Amino acid sequence: MEATKTPPAREGGLQTVRMISETIRLVTDGRCELYNLTERIAAVLLRHDVKDGMVLLSSLHTTLALFVNEWQSALLHDIKGMLNKVVTPNDGWRHDDPQHSDCDRRNAHSHLQATLLGHALSLGVAKGKLVLGQFQAIIAAELDGPRNRDLALQIIAT
Amino acid sequence: MEATKTPPAREGGLQTVRMISETIRLVTDGRCELYNLTERIAAVLLRHDVKDGMVLLSSLHTTLALFVNEWQSALLHDIKGMLNKVVTPNDGWRHDDPQHSDCDRRNAHSHLQATLLGHALSLGVAKGKLVLGQFQAIIAAELDGPRNRDLALQIIAT
Amino acid sequence: MEATKTPPAREGGLQTVRMISETIRLVTDGRCELYNLTERIAAVLLRHDVKDGMVLLSSLHTTLALFVNEWQSALLHDIKGMLNKVVTPNDGWRHDDPQHSDCDRRNAHSHLQATLLGHALSLGVAKGKLVLGQFQAIIAAELDGPRNRDLALQIIAT
């Protein structure tokens, strides 16, 4: 293990920062579908002229999750398959049972899968670019669509 | 996909920020139990008069996890059931075996479930409010209680 | 539930901050292996004289994940076993099928496991120390090694 970049202590310089809040809309078109948000998030950062900082991208929904991985067709198929293997739909979940729940969407597995994936992502920005590797994409997982979804961005930026 | 709110570039304004650190105590009362922390976190932000920023909420324990989802009785039951389906207790885990481990709590599954859920949450704050959707709650998952638990908050705030 | 530390409102004081970006290299030596990064991250913070703030540690790879849990030999064995139970390798994944994918690493399960663990961690820093509990370690999960891996750090610090 070795550092590939070792700036001197106190590099970065004292500076004031901006706090930016914004909401973006994602219109989904399937019950369980994945969406590549990378270009949209990059465009928001460009519009705000963000040089360095962090972005917090949050789903405002309990059945819409976020994660970072490769945007490859075969893998996207596998991700959806994996979610339904790890948390099986219609597996006697109490949230799907009208005796215990007033939710009639039969979406217990959607909530449970979202809980495992996570509702938010923190992403770095350095020199005006999202800090992502060559094969990394910012992916939204619609787990109970189609719906109109809102995602919040909080940006701390120089 | 369309932006619902598109502030002009450089909105936010240069400003200085506050860094606030705080610890809150959670006294749990079951082996595997869920706790709604939303109101408590909101109260901390109010007490510090946080207008805009981010909160990092971290579990200081390896068998206490955090996630965001809906606070509904039937679903909470399902979340606990799902965790024990995905990671079965007493499944021959080495951490539970006195030949390999000096831990006598038989809590391997608690650690493993915590690893899948995650130990921390980043949450946005905008205009003095936690950035959460209508059905989202901040939930602590006690996976090996009952215990006295500490959660750390780091707040970057204007 | 009670607060263990309740600073007065507006504690923290207005202050300017530094934004620091850095990349560290992790050379892994197994197909599926875990690495304790806690001391390395602490050393980066010390070198930059970080007093208070947040660190965002991000994997720049789609088969290298990050999580926080206990660094205990028996438990590390269980974490690797759990990952392969939750997402079975060679389970007919399309990403492993040359008819659907140009990836010949048979690493679909590595991607899927990484998706469940997460690609990044936000960590607090208070009074010059990483905000971690007594048994918590920052752990990198190499899921398709051995490889040379890069991890990005974004630090917001006073």
Please tell me the distance from the alpha carbon of residue C109 to that of residue A74, in angstroms, as a whole number: 12
This model of the complex carries an ipTM of 0.91
Contact criterion met (CB below 8 Å) for B123 and B42: no
Single pTM value for the model: 0.92
Which pLDDT does position B89 carry in this prediction? 98
Which residue of chain C is at minimal alpha-carbon distance from B112? C79
DSSP state letter for A52 = S
Tell me the chain B residues in contact with residue C68 when contact means C-beta distances shorter than 8 Å: 62, 119-120
CB proximity list for C158: less than 8 A, separation 6 or greater? B19, C15, C16, C17, C18, C50, C51, C52, C53
Which pLDDT does position A11 carry in this prediction? 41
Which pLDDT does position C7 carry in this prediction? 39
**Residue whose token pair is 């901390």:** B44
Q: Is the pLDDT of residue A1 over 60?
A: no
Residues C50-63 have pLDDT tens digits of 999 999 999 999 99
Please tell me the distance from the alpha carbon of residue A128 to that of residue B22, in angstroms, as a whole number: 32
Please tell me the distance from the alpha carbon of residue B39 to that of residue C131, in angstroms, as a whole number: 23
Which pLDDT does position C17 carry in this prediction? 84
Predicted confidence band at A158 (pLDDT cuts at 50, 70, 90)?
Answer: confident
Q: Poorest-confidence range of A8-17, A126-135, B6-15, B66-75?
A: B6-15
Which pLDDT does position B17 carry in this prediction? 84
Closest CA of chain C from A121, distance in Å: 8
Which pLDDT does position A17 carry in this prediction? 84
Predicted confidence band at C16 (pLDDT cuts at 50, 70, 90)?
Answer: confident
With CB atoms and an 8 Å threshold, state whether C67 touches B120. Answer: no
Q: Is the pLDDT of residue C122 over 90?
A: yes
Contact criterion met (CB below 8 Å) for B53 and A54: no
* Average pLDDT of the segment spanning B27-32: 98
Which pLDDT does position B137 carry in this prediction? 98
With CB atoms and an 8 Å threshold, state whether C95 touches A74. Answer: yes
Tell me the chain B residues in contact with residue A114 when contact means C-beta distances shorter than 8 Å: 69
Closest CA of chain C from B74, distance in Å: 24
Which pLDDT does position A15 carry in this prediction? 61
What share of chain A in percent tops pLDDT 70? 91
Tell me the H-state helices in chain B: 38-47, 73-86, 108-117
Phi (first) and psi of residue B129, to 5 degrees:
-120, 145
Which pLDDT does position C158 carry in this prediction? 82
Predicted confidence band at C124 (pLDDT cuts at 50, 70, 90)?
Answer: very high
Which pLDDT does position B8 carry in this prediction? 36
Contact criterion met (CB below 8 Å) for A53 and A128: no
Q: And the tokens for C101? A: 């994918």
The sheet carrying A53-59 orders its strands as: A129-130, A120-126, A53-59, A148-157, A18-27, B2-3
Which pLDDT does position C137 carry in this prediction? 98
Which residue of chain B is at minimal alpha-carbon distance from A86? B86
Residues A22-67 have pLDDT tens digits of 999 999 999 999 999 999 999 999 999 999 999 999 999 999 999 9
Which pLDDT does position A117 carry in this prediction? 98
With CB atoms and an 8 Å threshold, state whether A61 touches B135. Answer: yes
What share of chain B in percent tops pLDDT 90? 88
Contact criterion met (CB below 8 Å) for C102 and A75: no
Bridge partner residues of B148 (DSSP): B27
Distance of CA B16 to the CA centre of its chain: 28
DSSP chain C: -EES--PPTTTT--B-BEEEEEEEEEE--SSSEEEE-HHHHHHHHHHTT--SEEEEEEESSTTEEEEEE---HHHHHHHHHHHHHHS-TTSS-GGG-TTT-S--S--HHHHHHHHHH-SEEEEEEETTEE---TT-EEEEEESS-S-EEEEEEEEEE-
Closest CA of chain C from A10, distance in Å: 5
Which pLDDT does position B15 carry in this prediction? 62
CB proximity list for C128: less than 8 A, separation 6 or greater? C45, C46, C49, C50, C51
Residue of B117, B154, B155, B158 to mutate, testing the C interface (most C Cβ within 10 Å of its Cβ): B154
Angle between helices B108-117 and C73-86 (to 10 degrees): 60
Q: And the tokens for C35? A: 């690495």
| Closest to C50 (Cα-Cα) out of C17, C12, C7, C10 | C17
CA angle B96, B101, C88 (to 5 degrees): 55
Please tell me the distance from the alpha carbon of residue C71 to that of residue C36, in angstroms, as a whole number: 7
What share of chain A in percent tops pLDDT 90? 88
Tell me the chain C residues in contact with residue A121 when contact means C-beta distances shorter than 8 Å: 120
B and C: number of Cβ contacts within 8 A: 153
With CB atoms and an 8 Å threshold, state whether B4 touches A25. Answer: yes
Predicted confidence band at B3 (pLDDT cuts at 50, 70, 90)?
Answer: very low
Bridge partner residues of B69 (DSSP): B137
Angle between helices A73-86 and A108-117 (to 10 degrees): 120
Q: And the tokens for C135? A: 């048994």
Please tell me the distance from the alpha carbon of residue C35 to that of residue C48, in angstroms, as a whole number: 23
Residues C83-115 have pLDDT tens digits of 999 999 999 999 999 999 999 999 999 999 999
Strands A33-36 and A2-3: unpaired
Q: Poorest-confidence range of A66-75, B39-48, C4-13, C57-66?
A: C4-13
